[in-house]
Structures are given as C-alpha cells and as structure tokens.
C-alpha cells in the first residue's frame, strides 16, 4: 500500500499585514516535525506542497530538518481556501482581532459554505474545493505507486476536506474537524486496492505543549 502523510503548515502570521508567512513559532514547528519524522524513521519518497508561502516554507524547513532532499513538487490544488475572505463575507461586522473570537466567526461561515447554503463571490463552492483536493491526493498516490511513501504540505481546510470525505461527515462534522487541526499536525492515509483510508488524524505527540497552536 502507498502511504501519505498530510502535514499542516506551521503557524502563520495571524493579525499581521502578511498572513501568509510563517511566524517565528511556525518555523520552529516545521523543524520539529522534520526532526520527529527522522527520529521515527519515516520514509518519504516524494513530497508535494501547495503554492502558499506558509506551505512551501514548512516543506523546506521540515524536509531539511529530517535530513531529506528539499526538492518538492508544487500543486495549487493543495492551497487553502480564502478563510479571511470567507469570514469577512459571511460574518457580521469587522473581523475580530483575537484568535478565539475569529474562530467563532469562521465556524459559522464555514457551516454555511460547506452546507452549500451560501458561496461568497470569488470563492469556489465547498464541493469544488474539496473535489480538487481529493483529485490532487489521488494523483499523488498514483505517482507513489504500490509501497511508496509521500508527504503533502498543506492546510487545515484541505486536510479537513480529504478526511471528511473519507469519513462521510456532514457539514457540522466538517466544521468540528476543521476547528481542531493543529499546526504541524500529521494525518496519515494509506491506499491500496480498496481505495484510500484514514489511519490517523492530526497526530501531534511530537509537538511540546508550548508549540501546540490551532491558528
């Protein structure tokens, strides 16, 4: 069977002018993931990242810390949705500056979007977003072949979309899953003749308590 590790990027710069950049802690998290992969003897034959800076920088830092080649493919189907745009379009008033309050606004916006009740202008439908992620993963698994192992450096929404599909979750379940995806968390998927299956979700034992963040 082929094995894929879905790795969420390190903490981005919430509240800064340039969100799509790893924070100092995010860079530490990325290296921590790489060190953990090396310590566990995890094999990675191929790696792919979304196009976003926080995803690509996580990939480079992680692979280097793991002692692996830092060359990886880039596929925009692993990019995150515009969560700031979604929250702004479906929220009530200015976006909160606190992470906790912002998450509450995002949860409400996500449930509307995932259920198909509303799709803000400029965003794909949730079905389109999730479909792209699933196809990207399927194609990546094909490149690995039987017995191959790979890593995908991506974001919480993509990981949620893939796992929710494998678990056949309703919209409310997707939101609950999305809420707990940890920066630097590792989700493991295997694929064989029977298709893909979720083996573990959001594993983060490699992160010390002071490196556990959700946003």
Q: Which range marks the domain in which residue 11 is found?
A: 2-81+124-204
Beta partners for residue 149, in sequence order? 3
In a domain, 190, yes or no: yes
Instruction: Give Cα 199 distance to the centre of its chain.
Output: 16
Question: What is the percent of the chain where pLDDT is above 90?
Answer: 80
Q: What is the CATH number of the domain that holds 28?
A: 3.40.50.1240
Question: How high is the pLDDT of residue 15?
Answer: 76
Residue 198 has a pLDDT of 97
- Average pLDDT of every residue of the chain: 94
Give the pLDDT score at 90: 85
Which residues have a Cβ under 8 Å from the Cβ of 192 and sit 6 or more positions away? Answer: 1, 2, 146
Query: 61-92: per-residue pLDDT in tens?
Result: 999 999 999 999 999 999 999 998 999 898 88
Q: Strands 2-8 and 186-192, how do they pair?
A: antiparallel
17 pLDDT more than 80: no
Query: pTM for the full model?
Result: 0.95
Kindly state whether residue 96 falls inside one of the protein's structural domains: no
In a domain, 95, yes or no: no
Q: Flag whether 138 is in a domain.
A: yes
Indicate if the pLDDT at residue 132 is higher than 90.
Answer: yes
Residue 213 forms part of a structural domain: no
Mean pLDDT across 140-163:
96
In the chain, the number of structural domains is 1
Residue 100 placed within a domain: no
Specify if 209 maps to a domain: no
Q: Dihedral (C-alpha) 182, 110, 116, 199: value to the nearest 10 degrees?
A: 10
State yes or no: pLDDT of 33 exceeds 90: yes
């Amino acid at each position: 069977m082929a094995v894929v590790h879905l790795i969420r990027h390190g903490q981005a710069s919430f509240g800064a002018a340039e969100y799509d950049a790893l924070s100092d802690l995010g860079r530490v998290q990325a290296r921590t993931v790489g060190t953990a992969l090396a310590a566990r003897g995890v094999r990675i034959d191929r790696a792919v990242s979304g196009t976003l800076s926080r995803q690509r920088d996580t990939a480079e830092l992680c692979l280097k810390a793991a002692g692996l080649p830092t060359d990886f493919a880039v596929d925009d189907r692993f990019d995150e949705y515009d969560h700031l745009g979604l929250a702004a379009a479906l929220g009530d008033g200015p976006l909160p500056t606190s992470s906790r309050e912002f998450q509450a606004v995002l949860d409400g916006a996500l449930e509307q979007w995932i259920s198909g009740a509303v799709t803000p202008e400029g965003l794909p439908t949730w079905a389109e977003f999730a479909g792209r992620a699933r196809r990207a993963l399927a194609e990546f698994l094909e490149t690995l072949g039987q017995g191959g192992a790979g890593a995908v450096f991506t974001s919480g929404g993509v990981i949620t979309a893939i796992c929710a599909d494998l678990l056949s979750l309703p919209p409310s379940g997707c939101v609950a899953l999305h809420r707990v995806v940890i920066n630097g968390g590792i989700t493991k998927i295997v694929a064989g003749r029977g298709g893909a299956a979720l083996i573990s979700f959001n594993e983060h034992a490699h992160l010390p308590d002071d490196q556990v963040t959700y946003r």
